[in-house]
Structure 1
Amino acid sequence: MQKTDKAGPRGSRGWMARCVLCAALALAAQAATGAAAGSNPIIRDKFTADPAPLVVGDTLYLYVGHDEAQRDEMFNMREWLVYSTKDMRTWTSHAPIMNVKDFKWAKADAWASQTIEKNGKFYFYAAVEHDATNPGKAIAVAVSDKPTGPFVDARGSALVTNEMTPKGTHSWEDIDPTVFTDDDGTTWLAWGNRQCYIAKLKPNMVEIDGPIQEITPPHFEEGPWLHKRGKLYYLTYASLDRATQRDEHVSYSTAPSITGPWTYRGLLTGSGKYSFTIHPGIVQFKDNWYLFLHNATLAIGDMNGAIGRRAVTVEHLQYNADGTMKAVVQSDAGISAPPAR
């Protein structure tokens, strides 16, 4: 179920009437699709991809790319959106937080992103296509005083460019940033396609501090996600065994330190239905762990799901006693069903 965050006089009868109407329409839409609150896909009014959750207090914010591919287009992504929830069942849509044009040095592709809170501000890291002054994919950073934006370019230039990773094999390796702040307050940035890189960020959050290291795990394709539980660090990512798999799966590695050594743990889940790509996002929210993904099962009007028309999903995430993650089976029910025991 979704609701839309729109300004209005909260004390007025008009606002109350709109709330009642919106609730009725949402329930009607839910009944029409047979979808229970918390079932997948969780966002049904737009095609969305590359989910990146962030918890702030009692609210979970979900940052996504907006898929706008028409007919046989592969990808058409121009803006980033954010949704919020307090219960994992009802999602509020907010105004778009940024357009790729807001980075004056970028020319296209509002690809995967992640937002992190640091020093009372919110920093947004995203993959874009750099203009002709530095060709190839690049990583941008923006900043806001609120998790819902608006965000503004924090540097006026790219944080990571293709020329900073010269050992890479192709021009689109510098994509899909993930950010993680360790217990000592140090923030790390990881990213990549085919090659996975990691680097420390300076305290100002807009500069690389020290060398860029390669930490590519087995079958790494793209979409890395860093998180920590207890004393164990996790690197989860879209994987592809090109000898046996047609579509991306999700695999992960663990380490005793953010700098490694990383141990490959195998598959976490399979491919997203009807989708070549997949993108993990992991978060703990109100004592429960969740795995966000995307597939291509959503249809809106006469537009069916496709490689460039994806839909965000979420599943329960559980851990074994040794810290490894239990395999996740993707489902239509999502978190509307209790986790398997």
Structure 2
Amino acid sequence: MATPAVTNEVIVGNPIITDVYTSDPAVLVHDGTAYLYTGHDEAEPGSPDYLMRDWLLFSSTDLVDWKAHGSPLAITDFAWAASTGAKAGAVVERDGRFYWYVAVDRPDRPGGAIGVAVADHPTGPFRDARDSALVTDEVPFPTESDHTIDPAVIVVDGQAHLFWGKLRCFHALLDDSMTDLAGPITEIELPGFQEGAHVHHRDGWFYLSYGYLNPQRVGYARSRSVDGPWEFVGILNEVAGNCETNRPCPVEFNGEWVFFYHNGVLPGGGSRRRSVCVDRLHHRPDGLIDRVRMTTEGLRG
């Protein structure tokens, strides 16, 4: 039998999108296809400021090979929003329609808002679902910093829940239209919370992962109820390479759990020019989660 040749070649699977800078992954699994919705970083090299004007969409049936669908939603699709200042979003399906919650800047005052777009297919076209902001930073908890960023949505027993926040984490119910709040806004106390809340459910546990401290690791809390109370557990993901932020997105696909995030490792990349990656996620029998091992190989390894 021939001896296999020795090679130092490294299989590269991360970042999963390499021809454009992508950030803040949000994933919807529908009819056997994973739809990856991302931010679109366009800042010049070395810029201290973010520049994002639209969102991008990719799809895959194996989480390895991805098809680009361009930009199905831009900040200009919200007539009440500023022309720049697109931020992270989340997509959920409800009764055959697809709702994309995004954070944007506003032209009339400092700070931002959360809007919602709707479509009849995961690839769009998407349109503003209400022609006004769903959540603004004036109420109910005015803060010195804009808290209306990084929305996340989960539907539990027919009830949709919206999470969001910057430095403080908030939670509210959505009504059946998915375009209005259905109750009071409450605040969730989480240690080291920065931004990027995401909630997933598995085997009787709800997990709330988020950007923890700065530069951001990913921390997580868990609860037996989506309404809390939330118990902080610890670190889920360490600081991503060459990037001060992180945005967790755990997803189950074809019976396997994976963890989407972003870093800044593409050539010319950094905190304002990020790239989406994916690695495996392992839940333990005791309901805890192993730390995510960030790899170059990704799911190709």
TM-score of the superposed pair, with normalisation by structure 2:
0.94
Cα-to-partner distance string for 1:268-293 (whole Å, 9 max, x where unaligned):
01011000011001110000001000
Structure-2 separation of matches of 1:205 and 1:105: 19
Report the identity percentage. Answer: 41
Structure-1 separation of matches of 2:296 and 2:225: 36
The DSSP-based 3-state class of the residue aligned with 2:182 is coil
Structure-1 separation of matches of 2:191 and 2:142: 18
Partner in structure 2 of residue 253 of structure 1:
221
**Where do 4+ consecutive residues of structure 1 move more than 4 Å?**
none
Partner in structure 1 of residue 250 of structure 2:
282
Structure-2 separation of matches of 1:262 and 1:127: 24
Structure-1 separation of matches of 2:106 and 2:247: 22
| Higher Rg | 1
Partner in structure 2 of residue 152 of structure 1:
127
Checking the alignment, whether the CA contact within 8 Å between 2:57 and 2:68 is kept in structure 1 is: yes
TM-score of the superposed pair, with normalisation by structure 1:
0.83
For structure 1, list consecutive stretches of 5 or more residues without a partner in the other structure. 1-33, 241-245
User: What is the CA distance between 1:168 and its match in structure 2?
Assistant: 2.8
Partner in structure 1 of residue 28 of structure 2:
54
* Mapping of residues 198-277 of structure 1, within 5 Å: 198-240=171-213, 246-277=214-245
More strand by share: 2
The DSSP-based 3-state class of the residue aligned with 1:324 is coil
Partner in structure 1 of residue 5 of structure 2:
none
Of the three residues 71, 77, 100, the one matched with 1:102 is 77
The DSSP-based 3-state class of the residue aligned with 1:147 is coil
Of the three residues 103, 106, 112, the one matched with 1:127 is 103
Partner in structure 1 of residue 91 of structure 2:
115
More helix by share: 1
User: What is the CA distance between 1:198 and its match in structure 2?
Assistant: 0.2
Structure-2 separation of matches of 1:135 and 1:66: 22
For structure 2, list consecutive stretches of 5 or more residues without a partner in the other structure. 1-8
Of the three residues 75, 81, 95, the one matched with 2:56 is 81
Checking the alignment, whether the CA contact within 8 Å between 2:92 and 2:153 is kept in structure 1 is: yes
Of the three residues 287, 296, 299, the one matched with 1:323 is 287
Q: Let me know the Cα RMSD of the aligned residues.
A: 1.2
Partner in structure 1 of residue 117 of structure 2:
142
Residue type matched to 1:218 in 2? P
The DSSP-based 3-state class of the residue aligned with 1:196 is strand
Cα-to-partner distance string for 1:145-186 (whole Å, 9 max, x where unaligned):
01011110000000000112334332x21100000000x200
The DSSP-based 3-state class of the residue aligned with 1:164 is coil
Structure-2 separation of matches of 1:115 and 1:225: 12
Checking the alignment, whether the CA contact within 8 Å between 2:24 and 2:38 is kept in structure 1 is: yes
Cα-to-partner distance string for 1:220-249 (whole Å, 9 max, x where unaligned):
100000111011111000110xxxxx5100
